[in-house]
Structure 1
Amino acid sequence: MQEEIFCSHCADFTEHSTVKMGREHLVRCMVCGTVHPHKLERTRLAILRVIVSAVNSSSRRTIELPAEETLEVGDELLVDDGVGEVAMVEVTSIEMEGGRRDERARAGDVKTLWTRAVDEVVVKVAVHRRGKTTSYSLPVGGDEPFEVGEVRTAGGRRFRVEKIQLRDGRSPARALAKDIIRVWGGAI
């Protein structure tokens, strides 16, 4: 096993190979050949409860993260607890002990992460034709781009995208499905 470790003889981070494993590994510098002990740093882990809101349901999951890692609303995480399906999620709220909500916190201080799945999402589409508007729910991958002017199909009907509205209220000309709250289009 090779990894970059600080070599005091070279005064730089260099590739090292493990000579002997133990509480303190004995490692050899691949540049100068010096053998020296290397103490392993242990990372304290925090076990967090994660509520994952998906298209039609919510599930309660558990993940482990380094306790010192800073989490923020809007961060994307991979939730893989070995029990449910693996999901890419976006943090929507951080609940602390006592029920207080924060925008940013250390993982070790968090009680519950409230999230929404972003790998598979449903984009709400409103298509108008001759004064009548029909709504559709379009299941797509979260990283699928939508662009004003492009032609799409929903409910077997073709439409041209006229406007995109994001969760933060902006209306860009192009966006990823996971960020979109609604798409308006004109029937073709």
Structure 2
Amino acid sequence: MDKIEIAEAVCPSCSPDEPTVHVILKKGGLVKCEECGYVHAIPVKKKKLIKLRVIVSRQDKSSVQSYEVDEDDIIHVGDEFVVESEDEVSGVRVQSIETKTKARPESAPAGEIETLWARTIDDVIVKIAVQEGPVTESVHYKVAGDHEFDIGSTIKLKGYEVAIVSIKTRDGGHAKRQGQFVKAKDVTRIYSKIVSRERQAGRGGGFKLRSRKAYRGTGDEKV
């Protein structure tokens, strides 16, 4: 089945003052009113596509990429879309907008924008503070940006398992209530406590914390 495109426009036959829903019959502006069936033409504004400069941050590295958009489209801080460079495609979220007048608004028409500052949301590295008694260590955990972390749930890291106590978020919040969740792309740091660990072979049969490195989620985590 072909996709039906619709538009809102005034109808000369049944609604000359208020827009009604029309089915687009031809790209040139020929439409059919859904209310009365009258077929007529409407003026069509041609889109002017422009390429915006996007500075994309991925952890501690940045790259310059581009985003093609209609010059009249409004871009907001928090918008998410896909940007491209010659050798990279990334899902990103807008962190800041810089206009041609060097202003930093929360939103602006694309045609007025000089640069977008964004961060990747496909894969992110989440910092997890792991506490055991008086000792706290930091672990880097690689996971999809849309992955959800729940307060009170557990994460299986390599060699041990931790329970999430609280989560600091990028907007300055601090989730602490049981059952609250935060997406990985919105996390500044996760605070956790070790609840179990694997016994490591070694002298005295003691336990050993694995070396700190980035781990990628397997999809089996209890989060």
Contact 2:92 2:120 in 1 (8 A): yes
Tell me, yes or no, if structure 1 residue 177 matches structure 2 residue 180: no
**Number of aligned residues:** 183
Q: Could you say if the C-alpha distance between residues 154 and 40 of structure 1 is closer, same or farther in structure 2, counting changes exceeding 3 Å? A: same
Name the counterpart of 2:49.
45
132, 136, 149: which one pairs with 2:135? Answer: 132
Percent identical across equivalent pairs? 33
Tell me, yes or no, if structure 1 residue 149 matches structure 2 residue 152: yes
Unaligned runs of 5+ in 2: 196-223
Deviation of the 1:72 alpha carbon: 2.9
Counterpart code for 1:154: L
Tell me the distance in 1 between the aligned counterparts of 2:22 and 2:46. 21
Contact 2:75 2:108 in 1 (8 A): yes
Tell me, yes or no, if structure 1 residue 108 matches structure 2 residue 115: no
Q: Could you say if the C-alpha distance between residues 151 and 107 of structure 1 is closer, same or farther in structure 2, counting changes exceeding 3 Å? A: same
120, 124, 127: which one pairs with 1:121? Answer: 124
Q: Could you say if the C-alpha distance between residues 167 and 82 of structure 1 is closer, same or farther in structure 2, counting changes exceeding 3 Å? A: closer
Deviation of the 1:16 alpha carbon: 4.4
Tell me the distance in 1 between the aligned counterparts of 2:4 and 2:173. 48
Contact 2:128 2:139 in 1 (8 A): yes
Contact 1:15 1:31 in 2 (8 A): no
Q: Give every structure 1 segment of 4 or more consecutive aligned residues whose post-TM-superposition deviation is greater than 4 Å.
A: 24-33
Q: Could you say if the C-alpha distance between residues 170 and 37 of structure 1 is closer, same or farther in structure 2, counting changes exceeding 3 Å? A: closer
Contact 1:136 1:154 in 2 (8 A): no
TM-score relative to the length of structure 1: 0.82
Counterpart code for 2:62: S
Tell me the distance in 1 between the aligned counterparts of 2:85 and 2:126. 29
Tell me the distance in 2 between the aligned counterparts of 1:134 and 1:125. 8
Name the counterpart of 1:15.
23
Name the counterpart of 1:71.
75
Deviation of the 1:144 alpha carbon: 1.3
Q: How does 1:89-100 map to 2 (within 5 A)?
A: 89-97=92-100, 99-100=102-103
TM-score relative to the length of structure 2: 0.70
